[in-house]
């Protein structure tokens, strides 16, 4: 009875599409950058077919040629046709995988243009992957144990002087726009990974890595996680991407710039007051 109940439970899980959704495969992509998702599935399905065929042949041989039916094994000295057949079959599978990989590779590496209804962008002077040179650059800076996102070209150089908008943990992006990520780390190795938007990319101290994604429709959230063990609070280093309309993104940028200017003004006022009171010198020493 217990065995029957267990089989029924396992069968109900297997037959429920939502129960095993993305269980054996990566999460389905919301971005063209996740072409690696379809490549993974093709390799998985071909591998599964080969596994089932080999194990099926092995099981058939065990049953058909079991000892109680054939106590004396039939001795063979090879089969040229069979050996040529499985050699050509294996070579054919490798050729198919190689062709599919090279067909999919440009869609993984090369970013497409932003849509006409995307965020209004100008051509960048830095090397850009979209053919028309229009992309939105966001710097992803990792530190134990949080992500910082800085918005705008030059975000990895003079963001402080330019007073570029920034946010922590939650990245805000416009829809229908190619997003170029410039990824760096301030301490140890981290890995930025939002599965539905593409593959994981390491953030390595002293180096800069790049990736991109593009989401067609707004009003979506995509969740991710640091994918590199980076310390005792690694599990809490989550990532969130919020996709809004281009108009909402522009309004958010304006609001963030205003907030930065207001906060800077308050700090300047406080500094002058502390200097006047003698609590702080002009060079910032108490």
DSSP states along 150-210 = EESTTTTTSHHHHT--EEESEEEEETTSPEEEEEEESSS-EEE--GGG---EEE-TT--EE
Q: What is the pLDDT of residue 142?
A: 94
Domains of the chain: 136-270 (2.60.40.420)
According to the per-residue pLDDT averaged within each range, which of 15-19, 249-253, 255-259, 263-267 is highest?
A: 249-253
Residue 178 has pLDDT above 90, yes or no: no
Higher pLDDT pick, 4 / 31: 31
Residue 188 has pLDDT above 70, yes or no: yes
Q: What is the pLDDT of residue 268?
A: 76
Residue 118 has pLDDT above 70, yes or no: no
Q: What is the pLDDT of residue 33?
A: 54
Residue 278 has pLDDT above 60, yes or no: yes
> CB of 226 within 8 A of CB of 191?
yes
Higher pLDDT pick, 285 / 77: 77
Residue 128 has pLDDT above 50, yes or no: no
Q: What is the pTM of this model?
A: 0.64
Residue 8 has pLDDT above 80, yes or no: no
Q: What is the pLDDT of residue 190?
A: 94
Percentage of the chain modeled with pLDDT above 70:
74
Residue 184 has pLDDT above 60, yes or no: yes
């Amino acid at each position: 009875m217990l065995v029957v109940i267990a089989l029924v439970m396992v069968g109900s899980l297997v037959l429920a599409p939502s129960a095993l959704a993305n269980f054996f495969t990566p999460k389905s992509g919301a971005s063209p950058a996740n072409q690696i998702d379809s490549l993974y599935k093709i390799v998985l399905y071909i591998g599964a077919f080969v596994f089932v065929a080999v194990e099926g042949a092995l099981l058939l041989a065990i049953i058909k040629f079991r000892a109680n039916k054939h106590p004396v094994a039939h001795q063979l000295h090879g089969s040229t046709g069979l050996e040529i057949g499985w050699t050509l079959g294996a070579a054919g599978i490798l050729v198919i995988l190689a062709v599919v990989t090279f067909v999919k590779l440009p869609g993984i590496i090369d970013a497409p243009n932003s849509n006409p209804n995307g965020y209004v962008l100008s051509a960048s002077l830095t090397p850009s992957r979209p053919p028309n040179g229009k992309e939105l650059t966001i710097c992803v800076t990792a530190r134990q144990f949080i992500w910082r996102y800085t918005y705008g070209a030059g975000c990895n150089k003079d963001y402080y002087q330019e007073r570029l908008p920034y946010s922590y943990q939650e990245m805000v992006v416009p829809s229908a726009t190619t997003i170029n990520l410039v990824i760096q780390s301030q301490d140890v190795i981290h890995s930025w990974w939002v599965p539905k938007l593409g593959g994981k990319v390491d953030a390595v101290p002293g180096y800069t890595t790049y990736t991109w994604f593009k989401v067609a429709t707004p009003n979506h959230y995509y969740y991710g996680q640091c994918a590199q063990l980076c310390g005792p609070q690694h599990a809490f280093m989550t990532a969130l991407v919020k996709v809004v309309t281009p108009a909402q993104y522009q309004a958010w940028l304006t609001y963030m710039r205003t907030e930065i200017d207001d906060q800077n003004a308050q700090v300047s006022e406080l500094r002058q007051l502390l200097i006047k009171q003698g609590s702080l010198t002009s060079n910032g020493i108490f």
